[in-house]
Amino acid sequence: MHTALRLALRAAERVRALAPEALLAFHGTYALLHGARLLERGAAAVLGGECEEDLVALCEAVERGAELAPFRRPGPAAAALRRLDYPVPSRQGLPPAERYARLDDGAGGERLAGHAEASRGCKHACRHCPLPAVYRGRFFAVPVEVVVEDVARQAAAGVRHVTFGDPDFLNGPTHALRVAEAVHARCPEITFDFTAKVEHLVRHAALLPALRRAGALFAVSAVESLSEVVLARLDKGHRRADVARAFEVCREAGIALRPSLLPFTPWSTLDDYLDLLDTFAREGWVAALDPVQLSIRLLLPPGSLLLEDPALAGAPYDDDALGVVWRHPDPRMDALQEKVARAVEEAARRGEAPEATFEVVRQLALAAAGLPHRHVPAAVAADTGRRAPRLTESWFC
């Protein structure tokens, strides 16, 4: 969302240079959060939420030469949140499946990967997430038959793995299982991954074996932090102990858990960071981690629920950063985040193994704390020689 808007603004500059008369519309979660500023920058329309019907209406209005004021939405309160009549997505005109990410199965094999949605929005209100500002606790289920047909058409084009891009696949656990089993019945060769909250993985652990039988290979889950203080500030809905339980239930079901992290927030301490690194090494979770997760810094778009926190009062908005800029009360944390971000980017460019990058990051953290190197024995992975499956271009919540 954040990256997409940054790319969109760069693209908009090129479009304006090539076709000054063109009308530019922005749609999506981050577009709506930045609606007022996009309108100031000359956007003809800003839409968000369940806005596909509005996009069609916008095109029709442009063709008629009608007034576009109804499509100029300045902020998240104007999100469209009515249930749509979801058709099967049309992918005509898009690049072929070969141009997109692949599944790295962890054993040296790759498969073409596609994307589908079984639901949209989210019923939760994690305070750092942009979705609550737009969806306000609502989510919408896509009909099972629509999802199945969408996946079947992608399978016919050569896709062999599908990412369910729902903000949380288990917002509606019964619906999720129906979708997974129906897709498997129609396309038994298709595997999939999904995103789910830690609390949902723990609460619905009994569903995980059935999802595995239907083709689930891995789940992305927003662990964010192991600090009880940070988890409470973010209103994540889980505790530190739940993280270990989520890893356990996923492992028992044969589903790899790939955690996303938010280690740099105004409330995270350097001790928290060192503890995070030690725990991941000790528990054997490093192989399932994208090292970029160790560098993630809290983003604060307009409308973020966290802007109500006293620790962020008066923090200024930065147009270039597309968000509110905050500084950590401990300068070592800001300096460490910058060093870790550079290190993981360089390591990714070299194709370095996650474990090697992890050790570089740990040395940076120890140096920031003024501590000597200390070795934490890593747990032996259950399936030695095999890496956790992942996408070749990872995304994360």
Stated as kind and residue range, the H or E segment containing 282 is helix 270-283
User: Of 205-219, 262-276, 369-383, where does mean pLDDT reach its minimum?
Assistant: 369-383
| Residue-level pLDDT at 375 | 61
Is 237:199 a contact under the CB 8 Å cutoff?
A: yes
d(CA 306, CA 44): 29
Direct distance between the N- and C-terminal alpha carbons of the chain, in angstroms, rounded to an integer: 10
CA 229, chain centre distance (Å): 22
| DSSP, residue by residue, 334-382 | HHHHHHHHHHHHHHHHHT--HHHHHHHHHHHHHHHTT------PPPPPS
Task: Work out the number of other CB atoms within 10 angstroms of the CB of residue 383.
Answer: 11
pLDDT at 379 over 60: no
| Residue-level pLDDT at 383 | 41
Mean per-residue pLDDT, 112-123: 95
| Residue-level pLDDT at 321 | 85
d(CA 85, CA 276): 44
pLDDT at 153 over 90: yes
Read off the pLDDT of residues 169-214 as tens digits, 9 standing for 90 and up.
999 999 999 999 999 999 999 999 999 999 999 999 999 999 999 9
Read off the pLDDT of residues 18-66 as tens digits, 9 standing for 90 and up.
999 999 999 999 999 999 999 998 899 999 999 999 999 999 999 999 9
Token couple for 210 = 């059935």
Distances (CA, A) of 241 to 82, 138, 279: 37, 28, 12
| Residue-level pLDDT at 381 | 46
pLDDT at 255 over 60: yes
Is 173:204 a contact under the CB 8 Å cutoff?
A: yes
| Residue-level pLDDT at 396 | 61
pTM of the model: 0.92
Asked whether the CA dihedral 261, 263, 264, 266 is positive or negative, the reply is positive
pLDDT top residue among 387 and 332: 332
CA 93, chain centre distance (Å): 26
d(CA 224, CA 299): 13
| Residue-level pLDDT at 302 | 86
Task: Work out the number of other CB atoms within 10 angstroms of the CB of residue 106.
Answer: 18
Is 195:246 a contact under the CB 8 Å cutoff?
A: no
Amino acid at 305: L
| DSSP, residue by residue, 180-228 | HHHHHHH-TT-EEEEE--HHHHHHTGGGHHHHHHTTEEEEEEEEE-S-H
Read off the pLDDT of residues 268-279 as tens digits, 9 standing for 90 and up.
999 999 999 999
- Residue 373: band (very low, low, confident or very high) from pLDDT cuts 50, 70, 90: confident
Mean pLDDT of the chain: 92
What's the CATH number for 97-391?
3.80.30.20
pLDDT at 374 over 70: no
Domain boundaries, given as residue ranges, for the chain: 2-78, 97-391
| DSSP, residue by residue, 56-97 | HHHHHHHHHT---GGGB--SGGG-B-SPP-PPPPP-TTSPPG
| Residue-level pLDDT at 386 | 64
Which residue, chain included where needed, has tokens 């030695």? 384
pLDDT at 234 over 60: yes
